[in-house]
């Protein structure tokens, strides 16, 4: 747990609160909660998320490379294996339920928003160390847990079969996913508490940029459902 007199993940959020809210409470998220999101918006998001996950797996490969001891190596390798062996397969199955086949996924052109976000994360890790990489990944890893918690607390959110996006909500609100996000948060709190102020400020910039790129990713999805566009 982060203590109030120490900087941690919460301080990263406080450093870019308006961007963080724009991400966590984005219209894409709200409409997903209401169940009113245009299915094409969701499909576009799912397709690009497949490409996102491929680069996300590469980011864990980079984390393996940037690891400096056996603990870090094991943690990074476990994450890499989880995404490659498990989560990619689940995503492919989920896409199939939305009428998106594996063949289509394999041939997808990458949207600029996907390129921007994933390459930003990989560059942050490449030029920095393991902490820079984790901070660049934090909006993704911890953000989705926060988004799910926020969503289920809103009165407009529809749960159960009446919402076509129930599976998405239930995956990210699941105790397993929430616990994994908490592990990441604890790791980050512990690392951030040891950083000098200038170093923290540089990390906060990376966090804010990655958060803004997540906003763009939602907006990309929303735009794809705009029939007038």
Is the CB of 53 or the CB of 135 nearer to ligand VIB?
53
Write the DSSP symbol of residue 83: I
Candidates 135, 140, 188, 222; binder of ligand VIB (CB under 6 A) is: 140
Please identify which of the residues 113, 184, 209, 214 carries the catalytic annotation.
214
Least Å distance between CB 1 and ligand VIB? 21
Contact assessment for residue 136 and residue 208, using Cβ atoms and an 8 Å cutoff:
no
Can you tell me the distance from the alpha carbon of 32 to that of 158, in angstroms, rounded to the nearest whole number? Answer: 9
Residue nearest to ligand VIB (CB): 140
CA atoms within 13 A on the CB side of 189: 14
Is the CB of 145 or the CB of 204 nearer to ligand VIB?
145
Of the listed pieces 47-55, 65-73, 189-197, 201-209, which binds ligand VIB according to CB under 6 A?
47-55
168 contributes a contact to ligand VIB by CB under 6 A: no
56 contributes a contact to ligand VIB by CB under 6 A: yes
Of the listed pieces 28-36, 119-127, 137-145, 194-202, which binds ligand VIB according to CB under 6 A?
137-145
Q: Which long-range contacts (CB under 8 A, 24 or more apart) does 22-28 make?
A: 22/215, 23/139, 23/143, 23/147, 23/211, 23/212, 23/214, 23/215, 23/218, 24/143, 24/146, 24/147, 24/150, 25/150, 26/215, 26/218, 26/219, 26/222, 27/218, 27/222, 28/218, 28/219, 28/221, 28/222
Least Å distance between CB 46 and ligand VIB? 9
Least Å distance between CB 199 and ligand VIB? 25
Can you tell me the distance from the alpha carbon of 63 to that of 140, in angstroms, rounded to the nearest whole number? Answer: 15
Of the listed pieces 51-59, 68-76, 146-154, 193-201, which binds ligand VIB according to CB under 6 A?
51-59
Query: Which residues make up the interface to ligand VIB (CB under 6 A)?
Result: 49, 52-53, 56, 87, 140-141, 144, 214, 217
């Amino acid at each position: 747990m982060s203590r109030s007199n120490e900087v941690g993940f919460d301080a990263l959020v406080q450093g870019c609160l308006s961007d963080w809210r724009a991400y966590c409470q984005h219209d894409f998220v709200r409409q997903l909660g209401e169940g009113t999101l245009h299915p094409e918006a969701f499909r576009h998001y799912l397709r690009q998320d497949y490409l996102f996950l491929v680069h996300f797996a590469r980011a864990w490969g980079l984390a393996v490379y940037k690891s400096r001891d056996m603990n870090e190596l094991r943690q990074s390798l476990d994450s890499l294996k989880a995404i490659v062996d498990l989560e990619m397969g689940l995503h492919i199955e989920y896409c199939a339920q939305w009428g998106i086949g594996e063949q289509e996924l394999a041939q997808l052109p990458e949207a600029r928003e996907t390129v921007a976000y994933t390459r930003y994360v990989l560059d942050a890790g490449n030029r920095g160390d393991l902490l820079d990489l984790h901070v660049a990944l934090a909006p993704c890893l911890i953000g989705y847990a926060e988004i799910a918690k926020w969503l289920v607390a809103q009165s407009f959110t529809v749960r159960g079969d009446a919402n076509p996006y129930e599976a998405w909500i239930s995956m990210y609100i699941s105790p397993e996913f929430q616990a994994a996000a908490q592990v990441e948060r604890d790791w980050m709190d512990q690392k951030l508490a040891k950083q000098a102020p200038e170093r923290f400020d540089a990390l906060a910039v990376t966090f804010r940029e990655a958060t803004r790129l997540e906003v763009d990713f939602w907006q990309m999805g929303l735009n794809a459902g705009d029939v007038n566009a």
